[in-house]
Structure 1
Amino acid sequence: MRTRLRRLTVAAVALFTGATVLPAAAAQSQSRQDTLSSGRLSAVVRYTEYGIPHITAKSYADLGFGTGWAQAADQVCVLADGFVTVKGERSRHFGPGPTADRSLSAATTNLSSDLYFRGVRDTGTVEKLLAEPAPRGPSRQAKDLMSGFAAGYNAWLAQNRITDPACADAPWVRPVTATDVAARFYALSVLGGHGDHVDAITSAQPPTAGTPAAKADPRALIRVVERRAADAAMGSNAVAFRGDTTANGRGLLLGNPHYPWHGGRRFWQSHQTIPGQLDVAGGSLLGLPTVSIGYNAHVAWSHTVATGVPFNLTQLTLDPSDPTVYLVDGTPERMTERTVTVAVKDGAPVTRTQWWTRYGPVVAPSGSGLPLPWTTATAFALNDPNAAQFRFADTSLGFGKARDTAGVAAALARHQGLPWVNTIAADSAGHTLFTQSQVLPRITGDLAATCSTPLGSATYPAAGLAVLDGSRAACAPGSDPDAAQPGIFGPASMPTLADAPYVENSNDSAWLTNAAKPLTGYERIFGTVGTQRSLRTRGALQDVAALAERGKLTVRDLQAQQFANRVPAGDLAAADTATACAALPGGTATGSNGTAVDVSEACGVLAAWDRTMDTGSRGALLFDRFWRKLPAQRWKVPFSAADPVNTPHTLNTDSPAFATALADAVSELRAAGIPLNSPLGAHQFVVRDGKRIPISGGTESLGVWNKIEASWNPAGGGYPEVSMGSSHIQAVGWDASGCPVARTLLSYSQSSNPSSPHYADQTRLYARERWVTARFCEKDVKASPVLRTVRVHS
Structure 2
Amino acid sequence: MADQDGAVGSPTPKRPKRPARPKHPRRFRRRFHAGGSLIVTALLLFVLAVGYGPVPALGSALEPGGGVWNSGGNDVASSKTVHLPGMNGAATVYFDSAGVPAVHARSDADLFEAQGYLHASYRLSQLDLERRTAEGRLAEIDGPAGVPSDTFELQSGLLRTAQATWAATPKDSADAQALVAYSRGVNAYLAQVRKSGAWPTIFLLTGVFPKDWTPIDSLAIQVLLTQNLDYSTGPLDYALFEQSLGAERTMAWFPVIAPNQQQPYDPGPYRNLGVSPLPATQNADAAVPPGARLPATDLSTPSDSSNAAAAVGTPSGAAAAATDVLSKLSALPPAQLHAFPDSNSWAANGPAVSGAASLLAGDPHLQTTLPSFWYEVELSSPETQVSGASLVGIPGVAIGRNQWISWSMTAGENQSTFFYTEKQSPDHPGQYFWDGAWRDMQHVHYTIPVRGGTSVSLTVDLTVHGPIITQTGQTTAVTWMGNYPTRLLQAILGVDKARDFNGFHSALAAWHAPALNFTYADGTGDIGIVAAGYYAQVAGGSPWLPMPGTGQNDVVGTVPYAAAPLVHNPSNHVLATANQRPVGPDYPYYIGTSLNAFDNGYRADELYAYLTSHQGMTAADFQALQTDATDVLAQQIVPKLVASLTASGGLTATQQQALSQLQSWNDKMSTDSAAASIWATFWSDYVSGVFQPWWDATKVPVTKDKQDLQVSDGNPSLDEDLQVWTMSDPTNAAFSPPGHPGGTAQSAMRAAFTKAVSDLSGKLGGAPATWQWGRLHTREIPALTGAPGLGYGPAPAEGDRWTVDATEGDDWNSAFGPSWRMVTTWTAPAHGTAQAIYPGGQSENPQSTWYQTFIADYWAGRLRPLPLADQRPATPVMWTLTSGG
**TM-score higher than 0.5 here?**
yes
Deviation at 1:349, TM superposition (A): 1.5
Match of 1:297 among 400, 403, 407: 403
Task: Return the alpha-carbon distance in structure 1 between the equivalents of residues 610 and 205 of structure 2.
Answer: 50
| Counterpart check, 1:788 vs 2:882 | no
Secondary structure, counterpart of 2:764 in structure 1: helix
Whichever residue aligns with residue 151 of structure 1, its letter is N
| Alignment check: 8 A CA contact 1:324 1:335 kept | yes
| Alignment check: 8 A CA contact 1:61 1:147 kept | no
Matches within 5 A, 1:348-367: 348-364=454-470
Task: Return the alpha-carbon distance in structure 1 between the equivalents of residues 844 and 399 of structure 2.
Answer: 20
Task: Return the alpha-carbon distance in structure 2 between the equivalents of residues 73 and 123 of structure 1.
Answer: 25
| Alignment check: 8 A CA contact 1:64 1:152 kept | no
What's 2:623 paired with?
559
Mark the CA change 1:682 to 1:360 in structure 2 (over 3 Å): closer, same or farther. Answer: closer
Deviation at 1:259, TM superposition (A): 0.6
| Alignment check: 8 A CA contact 1:260 1:725 kept | yes
Whichever residue aligns with residue 562 of structure 1, its letter is Q
Match of 1:259 among 366, 387, 393: 366
Task: Return the alpha-carbon distance in structure 1 between the equivalents of residues 100 and 725 of structure 2.
Answer: 49
Q: Which has the higher strand share?
A: 1
What's 2:799 paired with?
698
Deviation at 1:15, TM superposition (A): 7.9
Matches within 5 A, 1:485-634: 487-500=557-570, 501-511=573-583, 520-525=586-591, 533-546=600-613, 550-574=614-638, 577=641, 587-588=651-652, 598-631=654-687, 632=719, 634=722
Deviation at 1:689, TM superposition (A): 7.6
Whichever residue aligns with residue 182 of structure 1, its letter is L
What's 1:729 paired with?
821
| Alignment check: 8 A CA contact 1:241 1:252 kept | yes
What's 2:749 paired with?
655
Mark the CA change 1:194 to 1:559 in structure 2 (over 3 Å): closer, same or farther. Answer: closer
Task: Return the alpha-carbon distance in structure 1 between the equivalents of residues 861 and 195 of structure 2.
Answer: 37
Secondary structure, counterpart of 2:620 in structure 1: helix
Unaligned runs of 5+ in 2: 1-40, 42-74, 238-283, 286-312, 688-718, 730-743, 782-788
Deviation at 1:706, TM superposition (A): 0.9
Task: Return the alpha-carbon distance in structure 1 between the equivalents of residues 315 and 634 of structure 2.
Answer: 49
What's 1:431 paired with?
526
Deviation at 1:728, TM superposition (A): 0.4
Deviation at 1:557, TM superposition (A): 1.7
Q: State the Cα RMSD in Å.
A: 4.5
Task: Return the alpha-carbon distance in structure 2 between the equivalents of residues 577 and 345 of structure 1.
Answer: 57
Mark the CA change 1:488 to 1:665 in structure 2 (over 3 Å): closer, same or farther. Answer: same
1:172-191 deviations in whole A, cap 9, x for unaligned? 45243113222212322344
| Alignment check: 8 A CA contact 2:321 2:476 kept | no
Whichever residue aligns with residue 762 of structure 1, its letter is F
Deviation at 1:773, TM superposition (A): 1.9
| Alignment check: 8 A CA contact 1:305 1:507 kept | yes
Mark the CA change 1:553 to 1:96 in structure 2 (over 3 Å): closer, same or farther. Answer: same
Match of 2:212 among 176, 194, 199: 176
Matches within 5 A, 1:393-408: 393-408=489-504
What's 1:207 paired with?
none
Deviation at 1:385, TM superposition (A): 3.4
| Alignment check: 8 A CA contact 2:231 2:480 kept | yes
| Alignment check: 8 A CA contact 1:283 1:294 kept | yes
Match of 1:771 among 863, 866, 870: 863
Match of 1:667 among 732, 740, 761: 761
Mark the CA change 1:770 to 1:156 in structure 2 (over 3 Å): closer, same or farther. Answer: farther
| Counterpart check, 1:270 vs 2:377 | yes
Deviation at 1:218, TM superposition (A): 12
Task: Return the alpha-carbon distance in structure 2 between the equivalents of residues 672 and 792 of structure 1.
Answer: 63
Deviation at 1:128, TM superposition (A): 3.2
Deviation at 1:765, TM superposition (A): 0.8
Task: Return the alpha-carbon distance in structure 1 between the equivalents of residues 415 and 203 of structure 2.
Answer: 37
Mark the CA change 1:556 to 1:584 in structure 2 (over 3 Å): closer, same or farther. Answer: same
Whichever residue aligns with residue 402 of structure 1, its letter is A
| Alignment check: 8 A CA contact 1:562 1:706 kept | yes
Secondary structure, counterpart of 1:139 in structure 2: helix
Whichever residue aligns with residue 790 of structure 1, its letter is W
Task: Return the alpha-carbon distance in structure 2 between the equivalents of residues 619 and 601 of structure 1.
Answer: 10
Q: Which shows bigger deviation, 187-196 or 233-242?
A: 187-196
| Alignment check: 8 A CA contact 2:779 2:795 kept | yes
Match of 1:471 among 538, 550, 555: 550
1:733-753 deviations in whole A, cap 9, x for unaligned? 223483321111113343443
Q: Which shows bigger deviation, 144-153 or 285-294?
A: 144-153
What's 2:770 paired with?
676
Mark the CA change 1:527 to 1:124 in structure 2 (over 3 Å): closer, same or farther. Answer: closer
| Alignment check: 8 A CA contact 1:279 1:400 kept | yes
Q: Which shows bigger deviation, 335-344 or 231-240?
A: 231-240
| Counterpart check, 1:332 vs 2:438 | yes
Unaligned runs of 5+ in 1: 2-12, 23-29, 98-109, 203-210, 366-372, 479-486, 512-517, 590-597, 642-649, 713-717
Structure 1 length-normalised TM: 0.73
| Alignment check: 8 A CA contact 1:708 1:724 kept | yes
What's 1:440 paired with?
535
Deviation at 1:296, TM superposition (A): 1.0
Whichever residue aligns with residue 560 of structure 2, its letter is G
Deviation at 1:149, TM superposition (A): 4.7
Deviation at 1:471, TM superposition (A): 2.7
Aligned length: 670
1:617-643 deviations in whole A, cap 9, x for unaligned? 4543443333333304544766789xx
What's 1:215 paired with?
317
Mark the CA change 1:748 to 1:602 in structure 2 (over 3 Å): closer, same or farther. Answer: farther
What's 1:345 paired with?
451
Q: Which shows bigger deviation, 391-400 or 136-145?
A: 136-145
Deviation at 1:67, TM superposition (A): 1.8
| Alignment check: 8 A CA contact 1:189 1:419 kept | yes
Task: Return the alpha-carbon distance in structure 1 between the equivalents of residues 191 and 660 of structure 2.
Answer: 61
Whichever residue aligns with residue 187 of structure 2, its letter is A
1:57-109 deviations in whole A, cap 9, x for unaligned? 23333222222232234433323321222342222222223xxxxxxxxxxxx
Whichever residue aligns with residue 582 of structure 2, its letter is A
Higher RCO (CA-CA < 8 Å; seq separation 6+): 2
Mark the CA change 1:525 to 1:153 in structure 2 (over 3 Å): closer, same or farther. Answer: farther
Task: Return the alpha-carbon distance in structure 2 between the equivalents of residues 387 and 402 of structure 1.
Answer: 28
Task: Return the alpha-carbon distance in structure 2 between the equivalents of residues 145 and 403 of structure 1.
Answer: 24
Task: Return the alpha-carbon distance in structure 2 between the equivalents of residues 263 and 691 of structure 1.
Answer: 8
Task: Return the alpha-carbon distance in structure 1 between the equivalents of residues 463 and 829 of structure 2.
Answer: 57
Task: Return the alpha-carbon distance in structure 1 between the equivalents of residues 100 and 168 of structure 2.
Answer: 35
Task: Return the alpha-carbon distance in structure 1 between the equivalents of residues 463 and 792 of structure 2.
Answer: 54
Structure 2 length-normalised TM: 0.66
Task: Return the alpha-carbon distance in structure 1 between the equivalents of residues 196 and 606 of structure 2.
Answer: 48
Deviation at 1:151, TM superposition (A): 2.6
| Alignment check: 8 A CA contact 2:686 2:748 kept | no
